[in-house]
Amino acid sequence: MEILKKCAESLITLRQKQPLIHHITNYVTVNDCANIVLAVGASPVMADDSKEVEDIVSLAQALVINMGTLNQRTVESMLKAGKRANELKIPVIFDPVGMGASSFRNETAKKIIAGVKLAVIRGNMSEIKLIAGQDVKIKGVDSLASEEDGTQVAQGLARKLKTVVAITGKTDIISDGTRTCYINNGHERLSHVTGTGCMATSLIGSFCGAVDDYYLASLSGVMAMGLAGELASESLSPAEGIGTFRIRLFDNISNLSQEMILKRGRVSYE
Amino acid sequence: MEILKKCAESLITLRQKQPLIHHITNYVTVNDCANIVLAVGASPVMADDSKEVEDIVSLAQALVINMGTLNQRTVESMLKAGKRANELKIPVIFDPVGMGASSFRNETAKKIIAGVKLAVIRGNMSEIKLIAGQDVKIKGVDSLASEEDGTQVAQGLARKLKTVVAITGKTDIISDGTRTCYINNGHERLSHVTGTGCMATSLIGSFCGAVDDYYLASLSGVMAMGLAGELASESLSPAEGIGTFRIRLFDNISNLSQEMILKRGRVSYE
Amino acid sequence: MEILKKCAESLITLRQKQPLIHHITNYVTVNDCANIVLAVGASPVMADDSKEVEDIVSLAQALVINMGTLNQRTVESMLKAGKRANELKIPVIFDPVGMGASSFRNETAKKIIAGVKLAVIRGNMSEIKLIAGQDVKIKGVDSLASEEDGTQVAQGLARKLKTVVAITGKTDIISDGTRTCYINNGHERLSHVTGTGCMATSLIGSFCGAVDDYYLASLSGVMAMGLAGELASESLSPAEGIGTFRIRLFDNISNLSQEMILKRGRVSYE
């Protein structure tokens, strides 16, 4: 399958280029994001003070903005770093964690979308629907939305913002407005570990720092996370649980190979 | 034993209800707290900005306030969220991490106790004694207090504040002022991993979000942590150490069953 | 070898004294630092608010200042804690993470060096060269500098600041200006996990809290990290990767013995 070959090649490119990925992110999953970026072969730098984010992003090949544990101090940093990244043609990946959970998050997401040209937006179904202006009943940072009309939402938002939209869930949906695909890798256990969404975004950021086609980069990042999840789950013995599963995610990302992508990647089209 | 049956049932209730547990907590152990909440079957949301904590807590079934890495920015958030939780009859669980280590912590704890009705306070012996107004020699965030007079302290404080008090240590003491019990699960290794106290508090919060009897919820949460600790410790091979032990805590919480509680739970009364 | 005996003895001293190590550090690797300090046998306390750092450091036997995720709020805390530590003759260990990546970091490092007497500075080659006033091409928080002239840099900086300088890399260089040695433990995988530098600094801090010779303490801390890295790496099966490697670092620090240091420690002199 042509697209799997391209994913596999993008992994090799990433490992050759070792792009530096600047994160302005939350303090819950920041260690996981740094380690997943290292595991896939890129290099992380986490920095969020408004006095330095423009310096830092200038050294980077991609910028990840993650809205978890949002605070007033870092909103300005997100906007400054995002604008500087735009000037330097560095791709910006946005993860609207907890969209809908508070007015503060909703307003911040609006500011970021209005002020920064985004290469990719990754979220779960409810977060993306809310970004697209639809009504969704939310529960904390978790989604209650159905997946049925996901394709329309992804395509519509991608066209409107001229960005790539990645909706992750049981079936992941990736669209740049023209091209749309579905990924059927992953495992339900991924939803029982904090940060797997954030890590998927950081993986997308890692691929965006290495390849110019952000649709392909998003597909590669989301698939990497899915493959790691299913391999980690298959490896568990009955006595093992969610702690060991989480550690094996990193094992499987660091051991991810072209062969694994070609053999187990499951991409489909409408 | 009747109480073990109730603990086992509360685990099932928790997993059915999947309560959302809002945390305002420290950046050292926040990832562990989120993952332990997920492992036991609840859902975590970490948010600490004063602009959003009232929105977030309104979505939650319990609020955990943890004083580790306390800072001036979040003290206001703790008070705002706590007061809103009180209005909404959402239980508030307080962990006075490092009580006694600085005037700032002592004063903040006083403000929280004065301004927020607490459902549960969990700490080690020295933290709870200091909350109760007794003199204790402290060493950083660790306890140097003896356990001898713990029962009196727990009962007295529980009555005074009309709350449940959980003192964790070699023997855990839980009291609501009327009922008092002792838990003899756990393992000494739990004191060699950061965050096991914080995680116990998050587990109590998870149970408080699912069952109305906060004394039972506290007992269930503390016992879950103890069982995970002893099972994790028993599973270690000689080459394994504190890193593997820590991961197995999560394994054993995610695999925790009614049977395990009934078989290994060790509760006693005076 | 005499020096290895001293390292082995310093481990025993550390475990007897269980010093309290105050950290003002970053939110990426803070949990790892706390756990590595516990694993080696010391006790961590993480606190960064300017209202309490002087109280906290007064309880401690060493202070670690780590510049990762630097922010304006904590710069003042670093200076206040450092000055109080100096008054109390508590050793201060400085890790200039990301030196060179922004003007903000460069200026903060200058302020810390000007305002606080440091017992040890630990960094990678480029960070230390930049601290010493040399020009280095940097890439995020990673080094691009060669190791050839490391000895001169370490010795010169140690003499200038009357401190111990520890440069970690393939070969680690430790110097107090008079004594200089090289450590050849460790494994390349250590560079594929975030926080191994921070953890080395925290281990140095742990030893500095227990023994008066900070050159020996630095050597012991860096060697402990190296031994843990090579033992962790040797233990991996083909299916295991960077996640399991990371956990085994903690296992091997908690299981570290005098025998292991004497058997595998590799120290050399010019």
Q: Is C242 on the interface with A (CB under 8 A)?
A: yes
C24 phi/psi in degrees, rounded to 5: -115, 105
Mean predicted confidence (pLDDT) in B96-125: 97
Residue B143: pLDDT over 90: no
- Give the pLDDT of residue C85: 98
Q: Which residues of C touch B105 (CB under 8 A)?
A: 52
- Give the pLDDT of residue A136: 81
Q: Which residues of A touch C68 (CB under 8 A)?
A: 46
Q: Which residues, in sequence order, are CB contacts of C238 under 8 Å at separation 6+?
A: none
Q: Which residues, in sequence order, are CB contacts of A148 under 8 Å at separation 6+?
A: none
Q: Is B27 on the interface with C (CB under 8 A)?
A: yes
CATH number at residue A92: 3.40.1190.20
Q: Are A183 and A219 in contact (CB under 8 A)?
A: yes
- Start-to-end Cα distance in chain A: 16
Mean predicted confidence (pLDDT) in A91-99: 97
Nearest Cα neighbor of B25 from B70, B92, B61 is B70
pLDDT in tens, C175-210: 999 999 999 999 999 999 999 999 999 999 999 999
Query: Nearest C-alpha of chain A: how many angstroms from B244?
Result: 9
- Give the pLDDT of residue C236: 97
Mean pLDDT, chain B, as a whole number?
95
Q: Which residues of B touch A142 (CB under 8 A)?
A: 20, 43
Nearest Cα neighbor of C169 from C195, C145, C141, C140 is C145
C59 and B139 in contact by Cβ < 8 A?
A: yes
Q: Which of A32, A104, A127 to mutate to test the interface with B (most CBs of B within 10 A)?
A: A104
Q: Is A98 on the interface with B (CB under 8 A)?
A: yes
Cα nearest neighbour of B31 on chain C: C31
C101 and A52 in contact by Cβ < 8 A?
A: yes
Q: Is A254 on the interface with C (CB under 8 A)?
A: yes
Q: Which residues of A touch B35 (CB under 8 A)?
A: 193-194, 242-243, 246
A48 and C31 in contact by Cβ < 8 A?
A: no
Distance of CA C106 to the CA centre of its chain: 19
Evaluate the CA torsion angle B47, A245, B32, C168 in order and state its sign: negative
Q: Are A118 and A131 in contact (CB under 8 A)?
A: no
Q: Are B157 and B132 in contact (CB under 8 A)?
A: yes
Angstrom distance (rounded) from CA C95 to CA A220: 36
ipTM of the prediction: 0.95
Neighbours of chain B (3+ CB pairs under 8 A): A, C
Q: Are A143 and A170 in contact (CB under 8 A)?
A: no
Give B250's Cβ-side CA count (13 Å radius).
25
Residue A146: pLDDT over 70: no
Residue B140: pLDDT over 80: no
pLDDT in tens, C8-34: 999 999 999 999 999 999 999 999 999
Name which of A26, A69, A101 is nearest B55 (Cβ-Cβ). A101
pLDDT in tens, B180-230: 999 999 999 999 999 999 999 999 999 999 999 999 999 999 999 999 999
B52 and A243 in contact by Cβ < 8 A?
A: no
Q: Which residues of A touch C27 (CB under 8 A)?
A: 27, 30
Mean predicted confidence (pLDDT) in C105-130: 97
Q: How much is the CA Rg of chain B, to the nearest whole Å?
A: 17
- Give the pLDDT of residue B138: 62
Residue C37: pLDDT over 70: yes
C46 and B31 in contact by Cβ < 8 A?
A: no
Q: What percent of chain A has pLDDT over 90?
A: 93
Q: Is C233 on the interface with A (CB under 8 A)?
A: no
Query: Nearest C-alpha of chain A: how many angstroms from B144?
Result: 30
The pLDDT confidence band at residue A145, using thresholds 50, 70 and 90, is low
Name which of B26, B193, B239 is nearest C38 (Cβ-Cβ). B193
Q: How much is the CA Rg of chain A, to the nearest whole Å?
A: 17
- Give the pLDDT of residue B46: 98
Nearest Cα neighbor of B208 from B40, B74, B27, B87 is B40
Q: Is B240 on the interface with A (CB under 8 A)?
A: no
B81 phi/psi in degrees, rounded to 5: -65, -40
Element (H, E) at B72: helix B72-87
Strand order through the sheet with B92-95: B43-46, B20-24, B62-66, B92-95, B120-123, B164-167, B172-175, B180-183, B267-268
Angstrom distance (rounded) from CA B134 to CA B153: 9
B102 and C248 in contact by Cβ < 8 A?
A: no
Q: Which residues, in sequence order, are CB contacts of B20 under 8 Å at separation 6+?
A: A139, A140, A142, B42, B43, B44, B45, B59, B60, B61, B209
Strand ranges for C115-189 from DSSP E: 120-123, 164-167, 172-175, 180-183
Residue C172: pLDDT over 90: yes
pLDDT in tens, C62-117: 999 999 999 999 999 999 999 999 999 999 999 999 999 999 999 999 999 999 99
Of the ranges A4-13, A84-93, A124-133, C129-138, which one carries the lowest mean pLDDT score? C129-138
C194 and A235 in contact by Cβ < 8 A?
A: no
- Give the pLDDT of residue A149: 83
Q: Is B232 on the interface with C (CB under 8 A)?
A: no
Residue A223: pLDDT over 50: yes
- Give the pLDDT of residue C136: 81
Tokens, residue A193: 């570990």
Q: Which residues, in sequence order, are CB contacts of A4 under 8 Å at separation 6+?
A: A261, A262, A265, A267
DSSP code string of A64-112: EEE-TT--HHHHHHHHHHHHHHHHTT--EEEE-TTTTS-HHHHHHHHHH
Q: Are B174 and B119 in contact (CB under 8 A)?
A: no
Q: Is A105 on the interface with B (CB under 8 A)?
A: yes
pLDDT in tens, C41-60: 999 999 999 999 999 999 99
Mean predicted confidence (pLDDT) in A220-245: 98
Q: Which of B29, B70, B102 to mutate to test the interface with C (most CBs of C within 10 A)?
A: B102
Mean pLDDT, chain A, as a whole number?
95
B and C: number of Cβ contacts within 8 A: 108
The pLDDT confidence band at residue C144, using thresholds 50, 70 and 90, is very low
Query: Nearest C-alpha of chain A: how many angstroms from B110?
Result: 25
Overall domain count for chain B: 1
Residue A147 has a CB neighbour count (10 Å cut-off) of 16
Q: Is C113 on the interface with A (CB under 8 A)?
A: no
Q: Which of C25, C26, C28 to mutate to test the interface with A (most CBs of A within 10 A)?
A: C28
Domain boundaries, position A208: 2-268
Q: What percent of chain C has pLDDT over 70?
A: 96
Q: Which residues of A touch C31 (CB under 8 A)?
A: 31
Alpha-carbon torsion angle A232, A236, A240, A241, nearest 10: 40
Q: Is C240 on the interface with A (CB under 8 A)?
A: yes
Burial class of residue C159, CB neighbours in 10 A (0-12, 13-18, 19+): middle
- Give the pLDDT of residue C135: 80
- Give the pLDDT of residue A144: 47
